[in-house]
Chain A
């Protein structure tokens, strides 16, 4: 039997099989330089991502998203903690086994990072060349990949001859050519228009479903998370401050950051002029402002009409939006209710008992 050092072993189960990726207490501190203080890009991050999941990480610029995703394939070495992918502790691998492990982790990028000197076909072939496959084996893998991403007819085009969306498709085909179990996406749609973004996200979803690839997706757009993620983590200043099922985070955000991402997304966000007029305390002629959040089948309920009838008062809708999150209808509405005779208190009770999440935002004159 040949001697294999502990950290050379591939496939040693370190965590339950259901977890494809497990980060434990991962920290990354960039040391101070002559011109800048040290930066804590990641601060004791714990994260478990299940096999076959699409996990989103959302955060503002500089929150540590890229640093986080790059620890998963060892492009970034954490200063503390451990990263385990498919049972292999990435953080303990020597150079050679790390290269092996990376073949099982595809990655796509905001700026595609295609080689300008290679055609679409040759770009997809690159990881296979690196792995030492023969030309015949490479052809047998690249062509189905180009078919999968819908670019069979562009196989001999150079990146300069492709649109952004097409380039990202090549990027996806390239990332999947080695048949990885994990796909990392660092802002892969940030350079694309909404239409193209949707088609790329649909492709990722398809890849996830058909190939069973676990996807970790980084973004600063809630719309992206909502479109395809199963779960989401909100990162701020190097910490995961909130995580859970997309539907739960999107409908009941617990942190201000998550709320602000949702506000950007929701048509029912407060307009700046309303925010300026909003006051904490009621006044004689004030109307009370509520944010109503209703989900599931309720979204079809003519609740406002029922409310007005029930209270015999008028209800004004300032903004409203019904949309779909993770396949379920979800609505938010900003309404104002005449507060004469304490109607707003009664309204709150009525709405709550109807199963609608009701948040009193304040009062406007």
Chain B
């Protein structure tokens, strides 16, 4: 493979990392609080707001059931409003974030719901405010589950980021389609796939290691 091609693969990998990192950070910033709210706003719960809970739940489901390739195109006006353009790698961050946030919300919600209700009661009995319960109990106790879930999110973000070529975004997926498929250079396609596999592997291992580290429920020798 020529040095030019290698440089291209390197640049595309950086584009992918750029998109995934920013979309992940933004998706978590929106999704995690949303997930905590979903987990605690049901009837009789800490921040009981059943109506808001239902409405947000429906929105989250709607977003999650829209195939990413459709979302990508459907929200072009919104993307233009936020970024100024609807084309390019930076612009692709908007749909990636919008797909990631509800995904993260559901993952955080599930992890928070796993926390034993007895802990919430015990903490309230100490005179905690609902926000203190979230900060001191729900988040730390749900952290192992959240860490694994966020790992899953990054992997699916990497997968989604391969589609942003459709709106002129860069990255590994775009490279694979343009060179590997359209210009018929199977070695580029193969290289792209290998880089993606390595990337996912690294993310997965790191995520699992982190989840293990924060999990104090397992007795270690």
A interface, CB within 8 angstroms of B:
73, 75, 99-103, 105, 107, 109, 111, 113, 115-118, 126-127, 129-131, 158-161, 174, 178
Contact = CB atoms under 8 A, between A and B. Distances in A.
Interface residues of B, number: 23
A111 B118 contact: yes
A160 B217 CA distance: 6
B128 interface: yes
Given A129-B136, A130-B132, A113 B118 contact: yes
A210 B73 CA distance: 71
A131 B125 CA distance: 12
24 contacts: A99-B127, A99-B128, A99-B129, A102-B124, A102-B127, A103-B127, A107-B126, A109-B118, A109-B121, A113-B116, A115-B140, A116-B217, A117-B214, A117-B216, A126-B126, A127-B126, A129-B136, A130-B127, A131-B127, A158-B216, A159-B216, A160-B219, A161-B219, A174-B126
Instruction: Classify the interface of chain B: helix, strand, loop or mixed.
Output: helix
Given A113-B119, A131-B127, A118 B218 contact: no
B123 interface: yes
A129 B136 CA distance: 9
Contact of A75 (B119, B124, B140): B124
Interface string B184-221: 00000000000000000000000000000010111100
B8 interface: no
B118 A116 contact: no
A108 B128 CA distance: 16
B141 interface: yes
Contacts of A178: 126-127
Contacts of B123: 126, 130
- Cβ-closest 8 pairs across A and B: A113-B122, A102-B127, A127-B126, A99-B127, A117-B140, A113-B118, A158-B216, A103-B127
Given A116-B216, A130-B136, 14 more contacts: A73-B125, A100-B127, A102-B124, A103-B127, A107-B126, A109-B118, A111-B116, A115-B140, A115-B141, A117-B140, A130-B123, A158-B216, A161-B219, A178-B127
Contacts of A117: 140-141, 143, 214, 216
Interface in B104-137: 116, 118-119, 121-129, 132, 136-137
A129 B129 CA distance: 12
Contacts of A130: 123, 126-128, 132, 136
Interface of B: 116, 118-119, 121-129, 132, 136-137, 140-141, 143, 214, 216-219
Interface centre among B125, B143, B216 (most CB of A within 10 A): B125
Contacts of A127: 126-127
A160 B216 contact: yes
A113 B116 CA distance: 8
Given A115-B141, A126-B136, A161-B219, A109 B126 contact: no
Contacts of A100: 127
A109 B122 contact: yes
B125 A105 contact: yes
Interface centre among A103, A113, A118 (most CB of B within 10 A): A113
B221 to A, nearest CB: 11
A103 B116 contact: no
Contacts of B122: 107, 109, 113
A161 B220 CA distance: 9
Nearest to A73: B125
B125 to A, nearest CB: 4
Contacts of A174: 126
B110 to A, nearest CB: 17
B16 to A, nearest CB: 33
A126 B214 CA distance: 18
A235 to B, nearest CB: 21
Contacts of B125: 73, 75, 102, 105, 107
Nearest to A119: B216
B128 to A, nearest CB: 5
A73 B143 CA distance: 29
A117 B139 CA distance: 10
B141 A103 contact: no
A159 B132 CA distance: 21
Contacts of B119: 113, 115
Contacts of B137: 115
Contact of B140 (A113, A118, A158): A118
A116 B115 CA distance: 10
A161 B125 CA distance: 25
A258 B4 CA distance: 89
A105 B129 CA distance: 16
B218 A160 contact: yes
